[in-house]
């Protein structure tokens, strides 16, 4: 379970940062940066993947009410142009830059720091299971991205984004084959690319 020990060891104002949406075939990649108030941390924070959708939805307003939160996004076009890793890092940088308070240190989920980050920072492998700040960021990013995909599913029915969130489920792959790619599909991802260019030389 995540705790606040990393933040306490570092001291000062610490932001946790996490991203969601690196694996899907469609939709943007989102990152959140969260500065928790150590005297008022919502109960039940955990890696978003370990929580039900209902629990994540219940925690989001508590995080927004008690913490400093910022969300950054990288578009499908940016993902296709600069690759998904760099786009994920771009979303992280945008989230950090959007914070109303500049942190003294940033905890980044993963093993790499985004290029261009000028603040002191530490990468934390599986950080959403270790740091409460990163766990909070994972919840914010997950809920917000899921909302985006549900909205996009209304505009582009048939792909099942309201349930698969853009990931390559069997039904999504079948729809991609039958309907072709939407403007929100990542053309640099092999399954989408293969369907777009199958039979073409």
Binding-site residues for a divalent metal cation sit at 18-19, 109
Tokens at residue 76, please?
């499908």
List the structure tokens of 118.
């000028």
Supply φ then ψ for residue 199, to 5 degrees: 80, 0
CB atoms within 10 A of CB 26: 27
- Determine the Cα–Cα distance for residues 70 and 189; give it in Å rounded to an integer: 28
Task: Specify the DSSP element, H or E, that contains 16.
Answer: strand 14-20
Which residues are documented as binding site? 18-19, 109
Query: Of 146, 133, 195, whose CA–CA distance to 28 is shortest?
Result: 146
């Amino acid at each position: 379970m995540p705790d606040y020990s990393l933040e306490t060891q570092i001291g000062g104002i610490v932001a946790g940062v996490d991203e969601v949406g690196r694996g899907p075939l469609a939709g943007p990649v989102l990152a959140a940066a969260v500065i928790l108030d150590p005297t008022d941390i919502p109960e039940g924070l955990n890696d978003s993947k370990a929580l039900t959708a209902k629990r994540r939805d219940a925690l989001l307003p508590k995080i927004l009410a008690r913490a400093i939160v910022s969300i950054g996004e990288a578009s499908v076009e940016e993902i296709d142009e600069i690759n998904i890793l760099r786009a994920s890092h771009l979303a992280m940088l945008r989230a950090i830059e959007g914070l109303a308070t500049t942190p003294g240190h940033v905890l980044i989920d993963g093993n790499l720091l985004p290029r261009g980050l000028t603040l002191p920072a530490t990468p934390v492998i599986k950080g959403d299971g270790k740091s409460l700040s990163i766990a909070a960021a994972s919840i914010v990013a997950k809920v917000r991205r899921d909302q985006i995909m549900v909205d996009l599913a209304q505009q582009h029915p048939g792909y099942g984004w309201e349930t698969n969130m853009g990931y390559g489920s069997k039904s999504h792959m079948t729809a991609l084959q039958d309907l072709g790619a939407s403007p929100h599909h990542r053309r640099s991802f092999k399954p989408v690319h293969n369907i777009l260019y199958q039979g073409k030389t």
